[in-house]
Amino acid sequence: MSDQHFETLAIHAGQPADAQTGAVVTPIYQVSTYKQDGVGGLRGGYEYSRSANPTRTALEANLAALEGGSRGLAFASGLAAEDCLLRTVLAPGDHVVIPNDAYGGTFRLFAKVVERWGVTWSVADTSDVQAVRDAVRPETKLIWVETPSNPLLGVSDIAALAGVARQAGVRLVVDNTFASPYLQQPLALGADVVVHSTTKYMGGHSDVVGGALVTSDAGLGEELAYHQNAMGAVAGPFDAWLVMRGIKTLAVRMDRHSANATRVAHLLSAHPKVTQVYYPGLPEHPGHEVAAKQMKAFGGMVSFRVDGGEEAAVAVCDRAKLFTLGESLGGVESLIEHPGRMTHASVAGSALEVPADLVRLSVGIEAVDDLLADLSQALA
Which residues are part of the catalytic machinery?
50, 103, 175, 200
Q: Please report which residue ranges of the chain form alpha helices under DSSP H.
A: 6-12, 54-67, 78-89, 104-108, 129-135, 158-168, 180-183, 218-231, 237-247, 250-269, 288-294, 309-319, 368-379
- Residue 379's nearest CA partner among 315, 303, 302 is 315
Q: Is 66 in the site for ligand PLP (CB under 6 A)?
A: no
3-state secondary structure of 278: strand
Residue 133 or 337 with smaller CB distance to ligand PLP: 337
Residue 29 or 178 with smaller CB distance to ligand PLP: 178
In the complex, least distance from residue 115 CB atom to ligand PLP, rounded to whole angstroms? 18
Residue 194: beta bridge partners?
A: 174, 214
Residue numbers 352-371 binding ligand PLP by CB under 6 A: none
Among 46, 103, 182, 201, indicate the residue that binds ligand PLP (CB under 6 A): 103
Q: Is 214 in the site for ligand PLP (CB under 6 A)?
A: no
For the chain, helix (H) and strand (E) counts, in that order, are 13, 12
Q: Is 146 in the site for ligand PLP (CB under 6 A)?
A: yes
Q: Is 211 in the site for ligand PLP (CB under 6 A)?
A: yes
Cα separation, 1 vs 347, in Å, equals 40
Residue 29 or 107 with smaller CB distance to ligand PLP: 107
Residues in contact with ligand PLP, counted by CB under 6 A, come to a total of: 15
Among 209, 242, 316, 379, indicate the residue that binds ligand PLP (CB under 6 A): 209
Cα separation, 66 vs 327, in Å, equals 26
Strand 193-197 with 211-215, pairing: antiparallel
In the complex, least distance from residue 235 CB atom to ligand PLP, rounded to whole angstroms? 11
In the complex, least distance from residue 199 CB atom to ligand PLP, rounded to whole angstroms? 4
39 neighbors 32 (Cβ within 8 angstroms): no
Cα separation, 255 vs 180, in Å, equals 11
- Interface pattern 77-96 for ligand PLP (x via CB under 6 A): xxx-----------------
- Which residues lie near ligand PLP (CB under 6 A)? 77-79, 103, 105-106, 146, 150, 175, 177-178, 197, 199, 209, 211
